[in-house]
Amino acid sequence: MKTVKHILQNKPDIVHSATPETSVFDALKIMLEKNISALLVIESGRLLGIFTERDYARKVILQGKSSKDTPIQDVMTKAPHTITRDDTVDHCMQLMTHRHFRHLPVVEGDTVIGMLSIGDLVKHIIEDQQQTINQLESYINS
């Protein structure tokens, strides 16, 4: 069974984050520049929350708040569910499906070592299935 460790091997080691005091506007600028849809909120090396496009839509825009005046700590999802590098791909897919997550921070102890998106998981599953198809075709043709 494939684990988070296998997926992280094919991703850059960079984890994009902001501090709790970062304005929503500045967080959105980071997300735009990095072409990401979620940003971890970390202070003194500790994961405090996650700020996503969904948080922006539901907790800022629809509530009439100002992006420039609102710190992300006021609208982030606090204490997000995390996974470890030893969790299976199936476990992550179940979490994301049943709890409607699109991103899962990967931690080792108290340290964030990565982040998985639903896209990362789907890409991995498709590649794994293609490899299985190729092996079966090779077996059939031999």
* pLDDT computed for residue 20 by the predictor: 97
- Does residue 105 surpass a pLDDT of 80? yes
* pLDDT computed for residue 132 by the predictor: 87
Task: Give the DSSP letter string of 54-104.
Answer: HHHIIIIITTT--TTT-BGGGTSEES---B-TTSBHHHHHHHHHHHT-SEE
Kindly state the average pLDDT of the residues 14-41: 96
* pLDDT computed for residue 60 by the predictor: 93
**Tokens in use for 135?**
């092996």
* pLDDT computed for residue 13 by the predictor: 85
Kindly state the average pLDDT of the residues 93-101: 95
Q: How far apart are CA 7 and CA 114, in angstroms?
A: 10
Q: How far apart are CA 99 and CA 77, in angstroms?
A: 13
Q: How far apart are CA 84 and CA 28, in angstroms?
A: 27
Mean pLDDT of the chain: 94
Q: Which residue has the higher pLDDT, 71 or 135?
A: 71
* pLDDT computed for residue 1 by the predictor: 74
- Does residue 129 surpass a pLDDT of 80? yes
**DSSP helix/strand/coil, 45:** coil
Split at pLDDT 50, 70, 90, the class of 51 is very high
Kindly state the average pLDDT of the residues 75-102: 95
CB of 65 within 8 A of CB of 59? yes
Q: How far apart are CA 128 and CA 130, in angstroms?
A: 5
Structural domains present in the chain: 4-141 (3.10.580.10)
**Tokens in use for 87?**
């969790």
- Does residue 48 surpass a pLDDT of 90? yes
* pLDDT computed for residue 108 by the predictor: 94
* pLDDT computed for residue 97 by the predictor: 95
